[in-house]
Amino acid sequence: MTKRLLFIGPSKLHKTVKNLAPVSWEIISVKSLSEFLEFSISIDFVLDASIKDTIDLSSKPFSEVKIVACASTGTNHIKLPINNSRQIIVISLRDIPEVLNNLTSAAEFSFGLLIALVRNLVPAAKSVEAGVWNRSEFTGVILKGKKLGLIGFGRIGKAMANYATSFGLETSFYDPYLQQKPSNFHEHESIQSLVSESDFISLHVPYKPDINVRPIITKDIFKHFKYGSFFINTSRGELIDEIGLIDSLKSGAIKGAALDVVIGEPEITENLIYQYAKRSGKNIILTPHVAGNSIENIEIATTGILELLVRKTVGI
Q: Which residues are catalytic?
A: 236, 265, 289
Structural contact between residues 43 and 23, judged by C-beta atoms closer than 8 angstroms: no
What Rg do the C-alpha atoms of the chain give, in angstroms? 21
- 3 state SS of 275: helix
CA–CA separation, 145 and 148 (whole Å): 10
Question: What residues have CB less than 8 Å from 52, skipping those under 6 apart?
Answer: 32, 77, 266, 289
CA–CA separation, 116 and 122 (whole Å): 7
CA–CA separation, 26 and 258 (whole Å): 42
Helices 105-118 + 121-129 axis angle, to 10: 70
In degrees to the nearest 10, what's the CA dihedral of 221, 226, 228, 229?
Answer: -70
* DSSP states of 202-217: EE-----TTT-SS-SB
CA–CA separation, 110 and 116 (whole Å): 10
- 3 state SS of 170: strand
